[in-house]
């Protein structure tokens, strides 16, 4: 863990940047899947997540939110994931927390330059 700069983490995953790699990509890992995303792609992912939240789950579902019946599109047109409503909430928190921290870090860097 010494070679990464942790941006945000929660129960489902972590976001970070490699310390010794010059890139504008953020690594986001959840549920055994890793994404290398720009800030714009994280924003797009959040838009896709909002669309997934409008999907209906099974009526009278006995799994109370644990059923992976929602289809989450990713920033890649070729990749989508089946997730539960509980996972969707955790993924949203991970993406929003990551985006907030990136924006806060950028804001503070700009203020410190002046």
CA dihedral sign, ordered 63, 65, 68, 69 = positive
How does residue 65 score in pLDDT terms, banded at 50, 70 and 90?
low
**Average pLDDT along the chain:** 90
Q: With 80 as the cut, is the pLDDT of residue 93 above it?
A: yes
Task: Tell me the pLDDT tens digit for each residue of 7-52.
Answer: 999 999 999 999 988 888 999 999 889 999 999 999 999 999 999 9
Longest dimension (CA), the chain: 58
Contact 45, 75 (CB under 8 A): yes
Whole-number CA gyration radius for the chain: 16
CA 81, CA 74: separation in Å to the nearest integer?
8
What's the predicted TM-score (pTM) here?
0.88
Contact yes or no for 15/26 (Cβ under 8 A): yes
Higher pLDDT, 52 or 57: 52
């Amino acid at each position: 863990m010494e070679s990464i700069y942790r941006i945000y983490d929660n129960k489902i995953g972590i976001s970070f940047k490699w310390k010794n790699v010059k890139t504008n990509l953020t690594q986001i890992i959840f549920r055994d899947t890793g994404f290398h995303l720009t800030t714009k792609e994280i924003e797009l992912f959040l838009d896709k997540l909002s669309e997934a939240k409008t999907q209906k789950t099974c009526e009278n579902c006995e799994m109370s939110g644990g059923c992976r019946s929602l289809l989450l599109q990713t920033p890649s047109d070729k990749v989508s994931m089946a997730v539960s409503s509980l996972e969707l909430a955790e993924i949203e928190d991970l993406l929003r927390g990551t985006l907030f921290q990136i924006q806060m870090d950028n804001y503070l860097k700009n203020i410190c330059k002046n």
